[in-house]
């Protein structure tokens, strides 16, 4: 038997419904796929801009958690409160941002300003002493050794050697980050390993074992300058925690 197919015969109502349903699902799927692609592009663009600006890991965490918080406000099931770890990162990231901006305002117009971000990520007390000593020793980089026409980033009179050797008997560093890392390690040792946690106790930086051969006025000026600017660094606006208050009080104790 031969069966002839006549295309002119309209499809049944059931087959038409099936085709409409398939088409509707395809449209919904396409819209969903496009939405996901736009979200990925938008999310990627945020992080691409971050990489271009070379911001710190802590700052990236802060931005990420702020994005999550925005998502939660738009009706998504995820909320910042539900993710305690993310909330901690956001708080810590915001603290890093505040410290960094505060350091920039303190060091504004001086070569040491380029170290603001690196200083903002380390222990606050250590960063405070680095800035205080840097003010006294070089006026935050305005009086410091250079080598081959380039800054050595040594604003503390630190000796030994850096990645670029020495200049005028002092270490010559290859970058602000290397300088901060090296000096922070040394200050951290004095403050936390040997208990030299006040400007007067840190006179070892200026005098070595004894200040007997040094001008008493110069010694007093060194202690005063380091104390004043260390306190200034710790007085970060909107970060009036009990811990920060304790740090300021400790630095004020010059005995």
pLDDT(248) > 90: no
Range of the domain at 66: 56-108
Residue 211 pLDDT grade (very low, low, confident, very high; cuts 50, 70, 90): very high
Residues 169 and 241 in one domain: yes
Question: pLDDT tens across 169-180, in order?
Answer: 999 999 999 999
Residues 129 and 243 in one domain: yes
Residues 220 and 144 in one domain: yes
Q: How many domains does the chain have?
A: 2
Return d(Cα 109, Cα 92) in angstroms, integer.
27
Partnered with residue 165 across adjacent β-strands are 162
Residue 4 in any domain: the answer is: no
* Helix (H), strand (E) at residue 31: helix 13-53
Residues 128 and 87 in one domain: no
pLDDT of residue 83: 63
Return d(Cα 164, Cα 182) in angstroms, integer.
13
Taking the model in full, what pTM does it have? 0.66
String of b and e for 26-64 (b: at least 16 CB within 10 Å)? eeeeeeeeeeeeeeeeeeeeeeeeeeeeebbebbbbbbb
Residue 85 in any domain: the answer is: yes
* CA 104 to each of CA 35, 58, 64, 171: distance values in angstroms, whole numbers, following the listed order: 40, 17, 24, 24
CB 142 within 8 A of CB 110: yes
Query: Which among 153, 137, 111 is positioned nearest to 199, based on CA atoms?
Result: 137
Q: Which residues contact 142 (CB under 8 A, 6 or more apart)?
A: 110, 111
Question: pLDDT tens across 5-59, in order?
Answer: 334 444 455 555 555 565 555 655 555 555 545 444 444 444 444 333 455 555 5
Query: Which among 75, 51, 81, 78 is positioned nearest to 63, based on CA atoms?
Result: 51
Return d(Cα 252, Cα 255) in angstroms, integer.
9
Which tokens go with 202?
């840190």
Residues 132 and 82 in one domain: no
């Amino acid at each position: 038997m031969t069966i002839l197919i006549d295309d002119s015969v309209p499809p049944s109502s059931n087959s038409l419904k099936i085709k409409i349903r398939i088409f509707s699902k395809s449209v919904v799927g396409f819209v969903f796929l496009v939405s996901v692609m736009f979200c990925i592009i938008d999310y990627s663009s945020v992080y691409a801009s971050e990489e271009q600006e070379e911001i710190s890991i802590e700052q990236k965490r802060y931005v990420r958690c702020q994005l999550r918080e925005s998502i939660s406000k738009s009706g998504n099931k995820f909320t910042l409160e539900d993710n305690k770890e993310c909330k901690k990162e956001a708080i810590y990231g915001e603290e890093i941002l505040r410290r960094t901006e505060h350091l920039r305002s303190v060091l504004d117009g001086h070569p040491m300003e380029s170290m603001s971000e690196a200083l903002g990520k380390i222990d606050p007390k250590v960063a405070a002493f680095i800035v205080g000593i840097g003010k006294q020793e070089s006026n935050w980089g305005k009086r410091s050794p250079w080598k081959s026409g380039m800054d050595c980033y040594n604003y503390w009179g630190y000796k030994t050697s850096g990645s670029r050797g020495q200049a005028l008997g002092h270490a010559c560093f290859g970058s602000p980050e290397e300088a901060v890392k090296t000096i922070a390690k040394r200050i951290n040792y004095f403050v936390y390993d040997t208990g030299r946690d006040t400007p007067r106790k840190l006179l070892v930086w200026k005098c070595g074992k004894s200040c007997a051969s040094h001008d008493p006025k110069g010694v007093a000026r060194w202690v005063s300058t380091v104390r004043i600017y260390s306190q200034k660094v710790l007085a970060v606006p909107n970060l009036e925690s009990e811990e920060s208050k304790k740090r300021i009080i400790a630095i004020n104790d010059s005995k």
